Copies of this chain bind each other. A is one copy, B any other.
Amino acid sequence: MFYTDNRLQFPVRVEQPDPLFARALQQAIGGVEGEIRVAMQYFFQACGARGDPKFRDLLMNTAAEELGHIEMLATAVAMNFEGAPLSLQEEAAADPVAGAVLGGINLKNLLSAGLSAMPVDSDGVPFNMSHIYASGNIAADMGANVTAESTGRILAVRLYNMTADPGMKEMLAYLIARDTMHQNQFLAALEELGGNENIFPIPNSFPQAEENTDFNYAFLGFQNDGSEPPQGRWSSGPSIDGNDAFTSRPMEPLGEVPNLGRARPNSGAQAEQE
């Protein structure tokens, strides 16, 4: 169950409203690496968590935190639209260099939302909940969360570098810090689950003897000329999961030319296919 106190988690200040930066901030709300994604991802992972309940609680607490981040960013978007032109005449009257606002924003923020935030990305594309990864495997989920926080921090850094507004930089410095912690906390959860040598290959509950053991630690090359693929840590030495050693070789086709035969009558094919 969730509660609110109507207050912002961290102060949101905008010294110089900038509608184009509002558009950029939309990526942090409704982009695939944005806050709706992490809030809902941790929420659904928590709801489906099986096993030690401390992971569920970890996830639900951070879901609550991320909901507060959406709230902060939505407020920041609306504040950056302060004073934006509502008409082509207003725009034309503005400084031409500073102008070009209406063409540069997501028009839906004006036309559909009345200068407020929307659950869309920086190009106006609505967030799609297929991006909520909750696999039922706690290690895969924690890894997915490290990934989400990595792209989330990259985005926050790019936004931080994009603006010169002190208020926005302060807010983003907070969000970047939280992304640092969240990367670390989900890495810590993976360590608590045993670290690389225990958790991989995910899922670790499948007996590796049932895998095709000719292919589970070989780096395969698909160079057209049959040459060796690029070498690196992945082509020799012990595997990262500690279960075997890497090898490397060009791949050759082991299967036949596929042949589905002729089409069945009454299946909507051309007569020539039957």
Q: How far is the CA of A199 from the CA of B183 in the complex (A)?
A: 11
B residues in contact with A74, CB < 8 Å:
44, 47-48
**Taking A122-B111, A193-B272 as contacts, is the C-beta distance between A47 and B65 under 8 angstroms?**
no
Please provide the chain A residues from 141 to 187 with a CB less than 8 Å away from any CB of chain B in the complex: 143-144, 146-147, 150-151, 153-155, 157-164, 170, 173-174, 176-181, 183-187
> For the complex, is A40 an interface residue (Cβ under 8 Å from B)?
yes
**Interface contact A213-B177, CB-CB below 8 Å:** yes
B residues in contact with A128, CB < 8 Å:
126-130
Most buried by B among A23, A113, A118, A128: A113
Most buried by B among A23, A33, A216: A216
B residues in contact with A129, CB < 8 Å:
30, 36, 119-120, 126-129
Q: How far is the CA of A273 from the CA of B140 in the complex (A)?
A: 12
**Interface contact A223-B124, CB-CB below 8 Å:** no
Please provide the chain A residues from 184 to 233 with a CB less than 8 Å away from any CB of chain B in the complex: 184-189, 191-194, 196, 199-206, 208, 210-225, 229-233
**Taking A114-B48, A180-B211, A256-B8 as contacts, is the C-beta distance between A135 and B123 under 8 angstroms?**
no
**Interface contact B75-A258, CB-CB below 8 Å:** yes
**Interface contact B6-A3, CB-CB below 8 Å:** no
B residues in contact with A200, CB < 8 Å:
183-184, 187
Q: With both chains docked as a complex, state the minimum distance between the C-beta of A236 and any C-beta of chain B, in angstroms.
A: 10
**Taking A123-B123, A184-B201, A269-B138 as contacts, is the C-beta distance between A133 and B151 under 8 angstroms?**
yes
Q: Which of B87, B151, B211 makes the CB contact (< 8 A) with A144?
A: B151
> For the complex, is A105 an interface residue (Cβ under 8 Å from B)?
yes
**Interface contact B119-A121, CB-CB below 8 Å:** no
Residue of chain B at shortest CB distance from A155: B111
Q: How far is the CA of A79 from the CA of B258 in the complex (A)?
A: 10
| Shortest beta-carbon contacts, A-B, top 4 | A114-B136, A103-B104, A8-B255, A123-B124
7 contacts between A and B (CB under 8 A): A9-B253, A106-B123, A111-B158, A114-B135, A123-B123, A124-B125, A183-B200
**Interface contact A246-B4, CB-CB below 8 Å:** no
**Interface contact B114-A268, CB-CB below 8 Å:** yes
**Interface contact B54-A188, CB-CB below 8 Å:** no
Q: With both chains docked as a complex, state the minimum distance between the C-beta of A104 and any C-beta of chain B, in angstroms.
A: 2
Q: With both chains docked as a complex, state the minimum distance between the C-beta of A24 and any C-beta of chain B, in angstroms.
A: 6
**Taking A5-B1, A271-B205 as contacts, is the C-beta distance between A241 and B183 under 8 angstroms?**
yes
Q: With both chains docked as a complex, state the minimum distance between the C-beta of A82 and any C-beta of chain B, in angstroms.
A: 9
